[in-house]
Structure 1
């Protein structure tokens, strides 16, 4: 069976993790255009 011809080529990609005091954020960029392709953020519960 032939591979699908409607694939989207995104690469090369660059990923970054930003660890803050109240959340962690993950971002994915197109390395050639610096376009933000995806991101996700999770809040971190602080306990003292």
Structure 2
């Protein structure tokens, strides 16, 4: 067994060439993009509330 890196909880020997390559690879994980977008929207809403306080 080779040494594997943990990538977002998934063991893989995958090494991204660049940011686009990493995003494409993440797209192979079911629901990854949707969850990423949901979390980003949630953080943006928290930041907006903090600015307005």
Please report the TM-score for the alignment, with normalisation by the length of structure 1: 0.23
Please report the TM-score for the alignment, with normalisation by the length of structure 2: 0.22
Greater helix proportion: 2
Which structure has more relative contact order (CA 8 Å, sep 6+)? It is 1
Greater strand proportion: 1
